[in-house]
Amino acid sequence: MTTDVVGVTDLRNPESGSCIRVYYPATKPVTREVTNPPTVKLFRNRLPYFASGYVWVFVHVFNVPNLFFRYVIYPLLYPLLYLNPLNHVNLPYAISDAPVLAPKKNTKYPLIAWSHGLTGTGDEHGLLAISMAKRGYVVALPHHSDGSSAYTDLEDGTDVPYEKPIFSNYDPKFRQNQVVKRVSELNAAVDQVLRKNSPLNKFVDTSNLFCGGFSFGGATAGAAASGKSRFKAAILIDGWYHIHFPKYDIDVNLPLELHSAATAPRIPTLFIGSEEFSKQEMLQKATTRVQKLCKPKVRNRL
């Protein structure tokens, strides 16, 4: 089933309070002006908020003084970002909280839980989610609140900024602990869509749940697909399966679930890798190693 209208609604993780943006096949609302339906911005909290997260990452990675960022960089940056045309761009085909398009008789929609990458946010994958929803999928896209995102807003009005690891005293469990929380948020996104009072509950095929992600999100989806998983298949794009910083003598496999024959995915798994990622020698070796551990079926695309 395909559709030219995609509904977008925002849910909240009941534990962390972070946003879960959900995309689904929809129809135009009949109770509102059809010629002027409620649109959905490309950036959920507008471009200045989205971009300030990346600036915050830059500040921490390159050790820019916090006061300089707060009182010099940000005051100059904010008006430029606010006036940027991208700040006013809407997601194509998207209508806020549009009615769900009833699936064909005796069918329901499969659900994909999608995880974004390190220093990213769910906003980056909005167009991809729109594309999948147009083809008959419900897509649940959590904004992770583990400290790996550029910035994550919470329901109580507070924010979770990017958390930079201390490389000179690196904790090998730092990213793995984030993966654990990310996986819990990926599962929470599914649970929120399927909860009893969810408007999407009766339209989702609970026997067809899938997961996927990009970069750190690929590692997250891989961990979610490992062991006794609720998901039927996984899509891992440019997965981050190894941390390598020779300057600090850091070599860590990530996530641990993917690097163990006992827990590696036993569901169909599609690995998609870009040419740029394949140039990273240690990462490529880790990817090949992980692929060999996955069963019963692995497909690799470059």
Q: What is the β-pairing status of strands 6-12 and 250-253?
A: unpaired
pLDDT surpassing 60 at residue 202: yes
Contact in structure between 20 and 10 (CB atoms under 8 Å): yes
pLDDT surpassing 90 at residue 58: no
Task: Check residue 38 and report its DSSP letter.
Answer: P
The Cα–Cα gap between 266 and 230 comes to 11
For residues 272 and 52, the model is more confident at 272
pLDDT surpassing 70 at residue 279: yes
Among 73-82, 151-160, 287-296, the minimum mean pLDDT is found in 73-82
Q: What is the mean pLDDT of residues 176-197?
A: 97
Q: What is the mean pLDDT of residues 287-291?
A: 94
Q: CB-hemisphere CA count at 13 Å for 66? A: 0
Q: Residue 80, Cβ neighbours under 10 Å: how many?
A: 11
Q: Where are the beta strands (DSSP E) in the chain?
A: 6-12, 19-25, 94-96, 109-115, 138-142, 151-153, 159-161, 204-214, 233-237, 242-245, 250-253, 269-272, 298-301
**Averaged pLDDT of the chain:** 89
How much is the CA Rg of the chain, to the nearest whole Å? 20
Contact in structure between 257 and 234 (CB atoms under 8 Å): no
Among 122-126, 185-189, 296-300, the minimum mean pLDDT is found in 296-300
182 sits in which H/E element: helix 174-194
The Cα–Cα gap between 154 and 244 comes to 32
Q: Which pLDDT belongs to residue 273?
A: 92
> How many residues in total does the chain contain?
302
pLDDT in tens, 187-200: 999 999 999 999 99
pLDDT surpassing 90 at residue 54: no
Q: Which pLDDT belongs to residue 298?
A: 60
For residues 72 and 179, the model is more confident at 179
pLDDT in tens, 4-37: 999 999 999 999 999 999 999 999 887 655 667 7
pLDDT in tens, 61-106: 667 766 776 677 767 777 777 777 777 789 999 999 999 999 998 9
Q: Which pLDDT belongs to residue 107?
A: 95
Topology (CATH) of 6-34+94-301: Rossmann fold (3.40.50)
Q: Which pLDDT belongs to residue 150?
A: 83
The two structure tokens encoding residue 301? 């695309």
Q: Which pLDDT belongs to residue 95?
A: 95
In 3D, which of 182, 265, 261, 252 has the Cα closest to residue 222?
265
Read off the pLDDT band of 41 (50, 70, 90).
confident
Q: Which pLDDT belongs to residue 297?
A: 60
Q: What is the mean pLDDT of residues 282-298?
A: 87
End-to-end CA distance of the chain: 28
Q: CB-hemisphere CA count at 13 Å for 205? A: 18
Domain segments of the chain: what residues? Answer: 6-34+94-301, 41-89
The two structure tokens encoding residue 256? 């641990």
Q: What is the mean pLDDT of residues 256-282?
A: 92
